[in-house]
Amino acid sequence: MEKPGSAVPQRLKVRKTPVQTRSGATVEAIHEAAIQVLLAEGLTRLTTTRVAERAGVSVGTLYQYFPNKEALLFALLQRHFEELASAMEGIGPDDAKQPLSILAEQIADTYVSVKIARPDATAALYRVAGAIDQFRLPAEIYKRLEGSVLRILEKAGDASFNSPEQAAFTLLSALAGLSRGSFGNLTAGTIDPDRFRSEARMIATAYLTAAAQTKTKTVGDA
């Protein structure tokens, strides 16, 4: 994972965000239609006209929200990033201490679950990122992911970190690298979800174990 980007380029910004249920449903339909066009016809044949037709809206309606195709594609990436951040934020809201190995697997499993929910769509989104040169996470999304990992690491009952922020960055970078390699055309064939999950767990557990300072029990500890 590269360091988070700065402000979103003007060409990729949406014109407006939905504030009512109906407009929210329209934007969601456009997002889903764009994914369907990507999967059915590929990135080179994706146009705002095709997306609007599949979404059941006029091109004019689409342009109310997205000024161009690139802004629509960026919105798809943004939605994926937000789903990932929300999933990570949902890990273990309680404060109960757990072994670091368990926490590492929870992080890995949650990351993987978002990527394999729709593996064909995930693969398409990596091509989108390359097409619009947007591999960096938006700063606000990275902060959410980092905050989630930091909160989880604080729950480790058997380890601590000299620099938890660096640990969070390196772990997220490693998982992002595995995901990009798996879905970004570096491997041939379809994704094996079980193998992907197993490799993600191995990376998370091995790295966090190596980076952590093991806590020693004092007299009186259970």
Contact 57, 29 (CB under 8 A): yes
For residue 19, what pLDDT is reported? Answer: 61
Classified as helix, coil or strand, 80 is helix
* CB proximity list for 183: less than 8 A, separation 6 or greater: 115, 119, 122, 123, 126, 191
d(CA 26, CA 121): 20
Whole-angstrom distance, CA of residue 181 vs CA of residue 174: 11
Residue type at 166?
A: Q
Burial class (CB in 10 A: 0-12, 13-18, 19+), 179: buried
3-state secondary structure (DSSP) of residue 1: coil
Helix (H) or strand (E) holding 100: helix 100-116
pLDDT 10s per residue in the chain (222 long)?
Answer: 555 555 677 777 887 776 666 778 999 999 999 999 999 999 999 999 999 999 999 999 999 999 999 999 999 999 999 999 999 999 977 778 999 999 999 999 999 999 999 998 998 898 898 888 877 788 899 999 999 999 999 999 999 999 999 999 999 999 999 999 898 765 556 788 999 999 999 999 999 999 998 765 444 444
Q: What is the pLDDT of residue 214?
A: 72
The domains found in the chain, sorted by start residue, are 11-67 (1.10.10.60), 85-214 (1.10.357)
Give the whole-angstrom CA distance, residue 66 versus residue 113: 29
Sequence-separated (6 or more) residues with CB below 8 Å from residue 58: 52
Residues forming beta bridges with residue 159, ordered by sequence position: 214
Between CA 119 and CA 40 the distance in angstroms is: 14
| pLDDT for 113 | 97
The reported pTM is 0.86
Only one residue has tokens 């806590």, namely 215
The pLDDT of residue 219: 42
Residue 49 C-alpha from the chain's centroid: 28
User: Comparing C-alpha atoms, which of 51, 36, 178 is closest to residue 107?
Assistant: 178
Which residues pair with residue 221 across a beta bridge?
A: none
Taking alpha carbons only, the member of 131, 135, 141 closest to residue 38 is: 131
